[in-house]
């Protein structure tokens, strides 16, 4: 994996780095035919899996989600969540299997396309990644994380103009602006437009510093990376 930042999907997205540390799992409501005790048990398993993943205990989180899958083998969301944790733990083939299964069960699950695209990007299959990001955005045009990830992938492909246009559209949704400015700045930097890069880096640092104060580990990581990029630019 390279050092670029991608965003995985949580309750509707969570991946600005190819290795995600702060996980949020999606939920699925069950029908009236499920008994109250079963639903309560499912909620407990899912919240326990989330807590375990956030604490870095991927083995326990995967085991808990596997229990949910045994109970509800037709639940695409649980497969998507388990795939995300497999991906975080470096078990890429297991992650791909779960993403594919999730999409077989629910072809309209935008977050699974985003997560599978992150897998493809991590493996260097950038064209396949772009196709899945496109699908995620077609299904959910407000999927800002997929838009950011697609912009990073366009940048990896050397398509800087497409990447910049992609980030500018992402900014219109008013979400994750610090991350967008960081990656648009990096794109300008690599493209040779250093003045715009400096402006975006400084905007990103200001926004990410606010998130750092809230103990957002992912934003803290990106803040450090942007600080290095800006220093490399100002003090080569």
pTM for this model (two decimals): 0.85
Nearest partner of 115 among 97, 101, 133, 137, judged by Cα: 133
Q: Is 211 within 8 Å of 177 (Cβ atoms)?
A: no
- Rounded CA gap, 116 and 87, in Å? 10
In DSSP terms, which residues pair with 8 in a beta bridge?
Answer: 14
Determine contact, residues 38/23, Cβ cutoff 8 Å. no
Q: Measuring CA to CA, how many Å separate 69 from each of 9, 18, 131, 205?
A: 19, 25, 28, 41
User: Is residue 14 classed as helix, strand or coil in its secondary structure?
Assistant: strand
Straight-line distance from the first to the last Cα atom of the chain, in angstroms, rounded to the nearest whole number: 25
Q: How far out from the chain centre does Cα 74 lie? A: 24
pLDDT score of 19 more than 70: no
Q: State pLDDT tens for residues 110-169.
A: 999 999 999 999 999 999 999 999 999 999 999 999 999 999 999 999 999 999 999 999
Q: Where are the domains of the chain?
A: 1-140
Q: What pLDDT sits at residue 39?
A: 55
Token pair of 188 as six digits? 């300008």
pLDDT for 7 = 56
Does CATH place domain 1-140 in 3.40.50.720?
no
Q: What pLDDT is recorded for position 160?
A: 98
Distances (CA, A) of 216 to 36, 54, 194: 35, 12, 28
Q: What is the pLDDT of residues 34-92, one digit of tens each?
A: 444 455 588 889 899 989 988 889 999 999 999 999 999 999 999 999 999 999 999 99
């Amino acid at each position: 994996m390279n050092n670029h930042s991608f965003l995985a999907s949580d309750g509707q997205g969570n991946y600005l780095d190819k290795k995600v540390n702060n996980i949020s799992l999606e939920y699925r409501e069950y029908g009236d035919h499920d008994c109250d005790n079963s639903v309560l048990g499912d909620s407990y398993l899912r919240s326990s899996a989330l807590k375990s993943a956030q604490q870095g205990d991927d083995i326990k989180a995967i085991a808990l989600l596997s229990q949910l899958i045994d109970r509800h083998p037709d639940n695409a969301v649980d497969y998507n969540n388990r795939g995300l944790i497999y991906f975080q733990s470096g078990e890429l083939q297991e992650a791909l299997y779960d993403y594919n299964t999730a999409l077989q069960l629910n072809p309209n699950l935008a977050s699974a396309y985003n997560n599978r695209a992150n897998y493809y990007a991590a493996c260097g299959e950038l064209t396949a990644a772009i196709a899945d990001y496109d699908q995620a955005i077609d299904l959910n045009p407000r999927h800002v994380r997929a838009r950011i990830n697609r912009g990073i992938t366009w940048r990896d492909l050397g398509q800087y103009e497409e990447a910049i246009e992609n980030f500018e559209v992402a900014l219109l949704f008013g979400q994750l602006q610090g991350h967008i400015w960081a990656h648009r700045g990096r794109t300008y930097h690599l493209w040779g437009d250093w003045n715009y890069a400096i402006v975006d880096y400084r905007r990103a640092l200001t926004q990410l510093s606010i998130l750092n104060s809230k103990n957002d580990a992912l934003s803290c990581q990106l803040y450090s990376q942007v600080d290095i990029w800006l220093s490399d630019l100002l003090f080569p």
